[in-house]
């Protein structure tokens, strides 16, 4: 969709004024249903997200988490948020750098895996006592159950490991693998390589926080292990956990969260 169409038909009036002098490019990285645009003028780069408020993890949640994270982590600054004609609009500053999956040598892959591990350790070490969002696994299980009952799960999107299962079968498998207790931390919620930005061989910041909140640390482990394997190769996963400092990986817990995540794809 071109800039003029968006300006004429979609944007809230006050946002039209702010963005009138910007050049627009559609951002195609990621698989979310959220529309993302990169906006440039001669002075700065911004990002605009447009989404439906009824999404499970909507932009209002992301705005809430980003506001809470101000001065705590390297995250985008919220510049504008509103709901208008059935859509949410979130305008943010840019985190400069490259997405961490851009690695054309083993040296850069190793460097970025270390950055990923150190970044997640920093996130998980935060005090979450006043975190405004609770994404506990039990809460997510209830949401997943509601989506299942309302026929909102498409098993054609499932990972190949369980692509032969119906949504009902996979949900039962999830319940069978449910951990007896959880290891709560502040969680990014979608800790994949496109959401970690690197600049000059160092961490530049973290983006895409709509899943952020209190959760089990393995929710992030499940996401990043899959993402490293997909983007860099499975042989690099072990280095991530070594750098994070995890001495023994609980693969059953990992499987539980990777299966649970299938119910939140494209939410």
- Domain ranges for the chain, please list them: 3-93, 98-264
The H or E element containing residue 114 is: helix 106-124
pLDDT of residue 266: 54
pLDDT of residue 128: 98
Longest distance between any two alpha carbons in the chain, whole Å: 55
The whole-angstrom separation of Cα 100 and Cα 119 is: 12
Contact, 216 vs 254, CB < 8 A?
A: no
Catalytic residues: 190
Judge whether residue 3 has pLDDT over 80.
no
Judge whether residue 1 has pLDDT over 70.
no
How many CB atoms neighbour CB 108 within 10 A?
16
Judge whether residue 127 has pLDDT over 90.
yes
- Indicate the pLDDT class of residue 157, thresholds 50, 70 and 90: confident
Average pLDDT of span 206-215: 97
- Indicate the pLDDT class of residue 145, thresholds 50, 70 and 90: very high
Sequence-separated (6 or more) residues with CB below 8 Å from residue 64: 132, 133
- Sort strands 87-93 and 23-26 into parallel, antiparallel or unpaired: unpaired
pLDDT of residue 53: 80
Check residues 30 and 246 and name the one with the higher pLDDT.
246
- Indicate the pLDDT class of residue 52, thresholds 50, 70 and 90: confident
Backbone phi, then psi, for 37, in 5-degree steps?
-125, 135
Per-residue HEC secondary structure of 8-36 comes to HHCCCHHHHHHHCCCEEEECCCCCCCCEE
Query: Was domain 3-93 assigned CATH 3.40.1050.10?
Result: no
State the pTM of this model.
0.92
Homologous superfamily assigned to 98-264: Aminoglycoside phosphotransferase (APH), C-terminal lobe (3.90.1200.10)
Q: What percentage of the chain reaches a pLDDT higher than 90?
A: 80
Average pLDDT of span 48-57: 83
Judge whether residue 7 has pLDDT over 70.
no
pLDDT of residue 57: 72
The H or E element containing residue 99 is: strand 98-99
């Amino acid at each position: 969709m071109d800039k003029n169409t968006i300006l004429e038909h979609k944007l809230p009036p006050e946002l039209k004024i702010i963005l009138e002098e910007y050049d627009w490019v559609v951002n195609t990285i990621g698989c979310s249903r959220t529309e993302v645009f990169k906006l440039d003028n001669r002075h700065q780069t911004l990002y605009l997200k447009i989404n439906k408020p009824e999404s499970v993890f909507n932009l209002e949640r992301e705005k809430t988490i980003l506001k809470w994270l101000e001065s705590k982590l390297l995250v985008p600054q919220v510049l504008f948020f509103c709901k208008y004609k059935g859509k949410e609009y979130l305008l943010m500053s840019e985190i400069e750098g490259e997405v961490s999956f851009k690695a054309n040598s083993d040296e850069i892959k190793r460097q970025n895996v270390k950055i990923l591990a150190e970044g997640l350790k920093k996130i998980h070490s935060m005090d979450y006592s006043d975190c405004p969002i609770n994404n506990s696994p039990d809460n997510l299980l209830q949401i997943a159950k509601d989506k299942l009952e309302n026929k909102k799960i498409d098993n054609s999107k499932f990972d190949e490991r369980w692509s032969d299962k119906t949504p009902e079968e996979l949900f039962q498998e999830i319940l069978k693998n449910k951990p007896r207790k959880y290891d709560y931390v502040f969680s990014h919620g979608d800790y994949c390589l496109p959401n970690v930005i690197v600049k000059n061989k160092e961490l530049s910041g973290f983006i895409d926080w709509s899943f952020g909140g209190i959760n089990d640390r393995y929710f992030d482990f499940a996401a990043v292990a899959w993402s490293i394997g997909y983007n860099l190769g499975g042989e690099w996963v072990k280095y991530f956990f070594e750098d994070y400092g995890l001495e023994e990986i609980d693969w059953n817990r990992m499987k539980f969260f990777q299966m649970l995540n299938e119910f939140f794809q494209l939410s």
